[in-house]
Amino acid sequence: MWSWLSVALSGFISVNANQDNKNGQAMMFKTLSLLLLLAILYSQNQALTPASAWVGVGLVVSIFADILYQLKRYKRLCFASFITAQICFSKSFWLQLSTEMVWWLPAMLLASSVVMFFLLLPQIDRLIFPVAVMGLVLVQFAWAAGELWLLHQDAPSLAGFLGAISLSVSAGLLAIHDYRRAIWAGRYLISGTYLLALSLITASVAL
């Protein structure tokens, strides 16, 4: 319990620092939040499973991507790192699936993402390709997490599915806020949903 409260506290400080444009402080406390998630992950898993190992790799890559983002340098490498982290997270969920797929779920997710893409198109006209790539990666991640939840229907799998959805929301808000027009309380929303997503993803394999 105290570990999760520490993650929440350091995340709250990071979000506030981000909103106030205190990039150094935001980077330090966001990194601390992700390191605490790593500590929770490995302390709760005495025998490291492939699923938890991939989440751990995803968190490490996320730390690297966050540092690049806060430094405002190497944008292509930063983008590639975020994509890599999402692939690592999705790999963790795909490894836990062993039954036949429910095909209406990816169809629904893909249809929803297409609708959202066209609704947001006026806002992201300069970012069509990177947004499309990230959208496809996030859709397959949400598919894997959703499949696992439909299979087990328990709290950890629900946490993973909600984490995948939260990560998608955070990515969409980031694209609009940084590259089109500022969203009111945008930094709170982006950083908050991002840290919530990573916490839920970690909880899905740590609980």
Which residue, among 141, 158, 146, has the nearest Cα to 103 in the 3D structure? 146
Q: What is the mean pLDDT of the chain?
A: 87
State how far the Cα of 78 lies from the Cα of 90, in Å rounded to an integer.
19
pLDDT at 132 over 90: no
Give the three-class secondary structure for 95.
Answer: coil
Residue-wise pLDDT tens digits, 180-196: 777 777 788 998 999 99
**pLDDT value of residue 124:** 65
**pLDDT value of residue 1:** 67
CB under 8 Å to 84, separation ≥6 — which residues?
Answer: 61, 65
Are the C-beta atoms of residues 128 and 164 closer than 8 Å to each other?
Answer: no
Question: Which segment of 22-31, 46-55, 172-181 scores lowest on mean pLDDT?
Answer: 172-181
Domain count for the chain: 1
Q: Which domain holds residue 134?
A: 2-206
Indicate the pLDDT class of residue 156, thresholds 50, 70 and 90: very high
Q: What is the pTM of this model?
A: 0.91
Q: What percent of the chain has pLDDT over 90?
A: 47
Q: What are the structure tokens assigned to 27, written together?
A: 């980077």
**pLDDT value of residue 36:** 94
Helix (H) or strand (E) holding 149: helix 128-152
Which residue, among 164, 134, 167, 168, has the nearest Cα to 146 in the 3D structure? 164
